[in-house]
A and B are shown apart, each in its own frame.
Chain A
Amino acid sequence: MIYVHTPFCASKCIYCDFNTYVGREEMIDDYTAALVKEIRARSDSRLKISTIYFGGGNPLKLGVVNLSRIMRTVRKYYSVDKNVEISLEANPEDVNTSLLTECSDLGFNRLSLGIQSFDDKKLIFLRRRHTAKEAVSAYNVALEAGFDNVNIDLIFGLPGQSVEEWRRELKQVVALEPSHVSAYGLSVEPGTPLYAAIKKGNISIPDEENQARMMEITHNYLSGVYHHYEISNFARCGFECRHNLNYWLGRDYLGFGAGAYSCLNNRRFCNIFKPESYIRAIFNGGDAIAATETLTKEIRLAESIFLGLRLVDGFRVTDIEEKFHCDLRKRYELVIERLSAGNLLEADKVWRLTDRGRLVADAVMSEFV
């Protein structure tokens, strides 16, 4: 699986702590050239690629020509599977039928729309660049352009949002019948304007109880329509995001571009974050690796458990035990006893979070790291 990062955006959203930069358009062609060089330099035709994901930032900022160069390079230097899933992240204000048709022609077969909300006031607050109306039409444009696998991203737990308001958002998204919905709770990350505003006391987010209720109705409401397959992700059967599933199943991945993470042969490493430094490093003929971590058996075991628990179906104990040659039940005897007694974890042949456990997943997962 391959991830390609685009660190450019037209503007920064209030909550965003991703590796993205505003107003660096002049760098785009150099960046693309660096990407192509990196993809080629790290080529390994033995690697079977079944998913490719273009994320950001805003990948469409690169332009179709650049996207096409990157896509050609990937196909040339890797064994791309016939049934490959190729996702493209896009913002509603950027899409139109001809652009998306071109993308579809390049091989993109899954579109992830960053809609976030169907409430204009909330969109303004979040510093998004589209309206609710534009969001709906972007979705329809995607269908017209031939995308039958479209994800809609939504965020709940916004400042001032009531449980009722969030219920309305859910109704609206279901009415559009997308094949996939990601419903994320707003997370307040240090360094963002959102964080600063909350810290200053200018705004406040819903309290724990209301956030919990929003999560509960999300799960209840969307589960009736979709397959709830991961804490925040819902899909029509067969439309689960295979790329993200691979992360949760602990598979290897290649990340290209500034700040992109790769995981290969028990090593995880990330590239230099600043695009200009990344470009320089690649053109100086080396790699752009900023940091490497060796994943010990202990680390991989811990990750397998907490990533596996994100999946609604959990994981089979024997799978993990065979992979790591350990007695999972014995190792975590006291922990699972307590978690099961508290109705947070089902720990039979399959370990999975209960509905209640999913709401406090971090607390549960932290018991295993």
Chain B
Amino acid sequence: MIKESLIRNFSIIAHIDHGKSTLADRLLESTHTISNRDMKAQVLDSMDLERERGITIKAQAVRIQYDAKDGRTYTMNLIDTPGHVDFTYEVSRSLAACEGALLVVDAAQGVEAQTVANVYLALENDLAIIPVINKIDLPSADPKRVTKEIEDGLGVSAENALMVSAKTGLGVVDVLEAIIKHIPPPAGDPDSGLRALIFDSMYDQYRGVIVFIRVVDGHIKPGMKIKMLATGKVSEVEEVGVLSPGMQPADELAAGEVGYLITGIKALTETKVGDTITEAGQQVRALPGYEEVKPMVYCGLYPIDGGQYPELREALDKLILNDPALSFQPETSTALGFGFRCGFLGLLHLEIVKERLEREYQLELLATAPSVAYRVRLNNNETKVISNPSEFPNPGSFTQIEEPFIRANILTPPDFVGSIMKLCQDRRGELEDMQYLSEKRVQINYNLPLGEIVMDFYDQLKSNTKGYASLDYEYIGYRATNLVKLDILLSGEPIDAFSAIVSSDKAYNRGKALTEKLREIIPRQMFEIAIQAAIGGKIIARETIKAKRKDVTSKCYGGDISRKRKLLAKQKAGKKRMKQVGSVSVPQEAFLAVLKVSE
């Protein structure tokens, strides 16, 4: 058992590309946690997707042994956190497993929105925060300004901020010393009943569920009967160990320690992040902060080749083993056939799931426009939750509709304030406040419907600000708004995959923009195609795609009939790759266009 006074548990808070993973790599290197031979860039981001996107999706932990200048050897646990608003809850649980955090800010870029949000989460969890200004070797580094931004924007004292270049290794030892000096050791009671916090878990096909835990009180060892307080699941500990960074079995994990746990549990749904593990039969209070994770964003996923539906189901079944935040249920679309309505934590989560399904399971998928969960108050006073435009009730059958709102926190150089405000107003935003953090950084807070955010808001924000603005948000609850269902008809047939729930103020412009966009995307065909937008059965916009005029190879191909037949077959296959909606062939981009159309 390690004395708690010699343990430090910390995490790193940073905006994407501010150097979190590089700093983590340096910490591991300079403490010989990983030999240079095994060092690959960004050890902690183990998924291919994470490396490619430069983001952390799954939390990870690693144990570091550090011989400090005071002559003692400390055990440090670095708990890496996912860095995206979609995973706010997971971040908060990882932070709850720590006593302190390194706040890494890029010396040139300054404070970004994601940093703000995560610092607040850390403060809520009473963490000690050590500001680290990274990349000070850059010619454009401006540590003075960044220090001011940390103080004014985050309310964190940055007087003793560490000046570091994770790239060159400058200041890395100071970071290790500061962790010992400024982050308090764990203060659990090793002698009281077991309480351990689950901050992550993963599914391994050979070993079942591997749970990552922080022991708060007591200890945990193989053979012990344990209980998950929230799910009530009881099981026996098969193995505990530490991550250094590979799994290293240990005799036990005691208060203050971080490690992994393997029991006979096979389903991630029974080991929920934030849940408290206790010894079965003992009465202890649950650790605070546990929440049920609910999907915030929904979309339909359909195989482009309808024959791949069973494969899609199988892939989702497998994926959910590792990603219990994902939810899905079968859904049928007249335009797209059989598919699944899936619920996600947010847009990034949606993208990751889609990409993993396509990459790891070789599926070609079509995703419908993302939507949120609306609450409809029906005439009989019942409340119905809908996440699909097809469930939208008939006009007159309900009294009110509510949609989820978020509070957006946007950080930007002052030049772009105007265009950001215009974007937010266009998206039905209400300005809450605006604050200059430094002469180069403005913080803007808007309340916005989540439904507006899921429609390419982030892309628009980035393109309106040349990529300089950063965004984070938190949910602030439901509000009643004026919503209608906008339908798109192709040659008289409503296409459910194009339907959307939109604000009544914007329905007309959106309908017009969408019909125009579809006219550009849908190729001319053998017949004339009418594209119409309708609200409640009333046509509000129409475009026409004229029939193809000429499509014939008139030259004589003599005996080479096979070639002609193959060309015709290719032409037909090209058509097949499109979705056949009645007599109209609709290219896949058309379904994506719904997401990109601006009113």
Residue ranges of A at the interface with B (Cβ–Cβ < 8 Å): 3, 55, 182-185, 187, 208-209, 211-212, 215, 231-233, 244, 247, 253, 255, 260-263, 268, 270, 293, 299, 302-303, 306-307, 338-339, 342, 344, 358-367, 369
> A270-B560, A367-B572 known; A187 and B553 CB under 8 Å?
yes
A55 contacts across to B, CB distance below 8 A? 558
- Which positions 514-556 of chain B face chain A at CB distance < 8 Å? 525-527, 547-556
Cα-based distance from A303 to B560 in the complex (angstroms):
12
> A303-B565, A306-B568, A369-B565 known; A261 and B559 CB under 8 Å?
yes
Cα-based distance from A203 to B232 in the complex (angstroms):
75
Q: Is B527 a contact partner of A342 (Cβ separation < 8 A)? A: yes
Q: Tell yes or no: B41 within 8 A of A by CB.
A: no
B555 contacts across to A, CB distance below 8 A? 184-185, 187, 232
Residues of B within 8 Å of A, CB-based: how many? 27
Looking at the complex, which one of A211, A255, A270, A299 makes contact with B550 (CB distance below 8 Å)? A211
B585 to chain A, nearest CB (A): 10
Cα-based distance from A64 to B548 in the complex (angstroms):
48
**11 additional contacts, CB 8 Å, given A270-B559, A359-B552?**
A3-B558, A184-B556, A185-B550, A231-B554, A232-B555, A247-B559, A262-B559, A293-B562, A299-B565, A307-B561, A360-B526
> A268-B562, A303-B561 known; A369 and B552 CB under 8 Å?
no
Q: Tell yes or no: B419 within 8 A of A by CB.
A: no
Q: Which of B548, B550, B569, B572 has the most chain A CB atoms inside 10 A of its CB?
A: B550
Q: Tell yes or no: B571 within 8 A of A by CB.
A: yes
Those 9 A-B pairs whose CB atoms lie nearest each other, nearest first: A261-B559, A212-B549, A212-B550, A361-B552, A232-B554, A366-B571, A366-B572, A360-B551, A366-B568
Q: Is B556 a contact partner of A366 (Cβ separation < 8 A)? A: no
B323 to chain A, nearest CB (A): 41
Q: Is A359 a contact partner of B550 (Cβ separation < 8 A)? A: yes
Closest residue of chain A to B548 (Cβ to Cβ) is: A360
Q: Tell yes or no: B583 within 8 A of A by CB.
A: yes
Q: Is B560 a contact partner of A363 (Cβ separation < 8 A)? A: no
Q: Tell yes or no: B575 within 8 A of A by CB.
A: yes
Q: Is B565 a contact partner of A306 (Cβ separation < 8 A)? A: yes
Q: Is B556 a contact partner of A365 (Cβ separation < 8 A)? A: no
> A344-B526, A366-B572 known; A255 and B551 CB under 8 Å?
no
B569 contacts across to A, CB distance below 8 A? 366, 369
Question: Could you jot down 18 A-B contacts, CB within 8 Å?
Answer: A185-B552, A211-B550, A215-B552, A231-B552, A233-B556, A247-B558, A247-B559, A263-B559, A268-B562, A270-B559, A306-B568, A359-B550, A360-B551, A362-B568, A363-B525, A363-B551, A367-B572, A369-B568
B568 contacts across to A, CB distance below 8 A? 306, 362, 365-366, 369
B548 contacts across to A, CB distance below 8 A? 208, 360, 363
Q: Is B561 a contact partner of A268 (Cβ separation < 8 A)? A: yes
Cα-based distance from A363 to B552 in the complex (angstroms):
8
Q: Is A361 a contact partner of B565 (Cβ separation < 8 A)? A: no
Q: Is B549 a contact partner of A208 (Cβ separation < 8 A)? A: yes
Cα-based distance from A208 to B561 in the complex (angstroms):
25
Looking at the complex, which one of B553, B556, B559 makes contact with A182 (CB distance below 8 Å)? B556
Cα-based distance from A338 to B580 in the complex (angstroms):
13
A260 contacts across to B, CB distance below 8 A? 559
Cα-based distance from A244 to B559 in the complex (angstroms):
9
B554 contacts across to A, CB distance below 8 A? 183-185, 187, 215, 231-232
Q: Is B560 a contact partner of A261 (Cβ separation < 8 A)? A: yes
B525 to chain A, nearest CB (A): 8
Cα-based distance from A267 to B322 in the complex (angstroms):
54
A-contact 0/1 string along B239-272, CB 8 Å cutoff: 0000000000000000000000000000000000
Cα-based distance from A301 to B13 in the complex (angstroms):
67
B565 contacts across to A, CB distance below 8 A? 299, 302-303, 306, 369
Q: Is B556 a contact partner of A255 (Cβ separation < 8 A)? A: no
Cα-based distance from A369 to B569 in the complex (angstroms):
6
Cα-based distance from A364 to B575 in the complex (angstroms):
12
A260 to chain B, nearest CB (A): 7
B47 to chain A, nearest CB (A): 41
B567 contacts across to A, CB distance below 8 A? 362
- Which positions 545-599 of chain B face chain A at CB distance < 8 Å? 547-556, 558-562, 564-565, 567-569, 571-572, 575, 583
Closest residue of chain B to A343 (Cβ to Cβ) is: B527
Q: Is A359 a contact partner of B549 (Cβ separation < 8 A)? A: yes
Cα-based distance from A359 to B548 in the complex (angstroms):
9
Q: Is B552 a contact partner of A360 (Cβ separation < 8 A)? A: yes
> A342-B527, A363-B526, A367-B572 known; A255 and B559 CB under 8 Å?
yes
B530 to chain A, nearest CB (A): 14
Q: Is B575 a contact partner of A366 (Cβ separation < 8 A)? A: yes
A-contact 0/1 string along B299-330, CB 8 Å cutoff: 00000000000000000000000000000000
